[in-house]
């Protein structure tokens, strides 16, 4: 069975290390980027199954990154989970308007993130099961 590939885009190196540890323990393949520009480059090279994206980063922030992801025909169908310290309802609404599949506030429980990742990666099979 092929492992799902997750791209983590966050400028916090310790957080990326934690997520790499947690996600590889769950048998995911993980690639990481420290800013949105690098994240876009890796997304195009690696074509991940899901992207975990911070909103406040240097070089290219999460808002601009998701805009570019969703305007790229090869990348637009990849689910994006925003993982951010922004807590305003307007931030959640904006992320969803731009195409984010989910929104998780920092600080966060890594187990919750793993549950959300699994839910978004299993959407096709979950939809078939619920239709039966």
The structural domains of the chain, with segments of one domain joined by +, span 5-127
Model confidence pTM above 0.75: yes
Encode the chain (132 residues) as per-residue pLDDT tens digits: 568 999 999 999 999 999 999 999 999 999 999 999 999 999 999 999 999 999 999 999 999 999 999 999 999 999 999 998 877 788 888 889 999 999 999 889 999 999 999 999 974 444 433 333
d(CA 31, CA 87): 26
The CATH homologous superfamily of the domain defined by 5-127:
Response regulator (3.40.50.2300)
d(CA 117, CA 111): 10
Q: What residue spans of the chain are helical by DSSP H? A: 13-25, 36-46, 62-71, 89-98, 110-121, 123-131
d(CA 90, CA 4): 31
């Amino acid at each position: 069975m092929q492992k799902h590939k997750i791209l983590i885009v966050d400028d916090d190196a310790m957080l990326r290390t934690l997520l790499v540890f947690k996600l590889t323990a769950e048998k995911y393949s993980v690639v990481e980027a420290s800013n949105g520009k690098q994240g876009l480059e890796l997304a195009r090279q690696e074509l991940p199954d899901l992207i975990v994206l911070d909103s406040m980063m240097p070089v290219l922030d999460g808002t601009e990154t998701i805009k570019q992801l969703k305007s790229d025909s090869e990348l637009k169908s990849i689910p994006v989970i925003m993982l951010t310290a922004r807590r305003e309802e307007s931030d959640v609404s904006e992320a969803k308007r731009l195409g984010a599949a989910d929104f998780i506030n920092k600080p966060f429980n890594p187990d919750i993130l793993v549950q959300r990742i699994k839910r978004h990666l299993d959407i096709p099979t979950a939809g078939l099961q619920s239709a039966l």
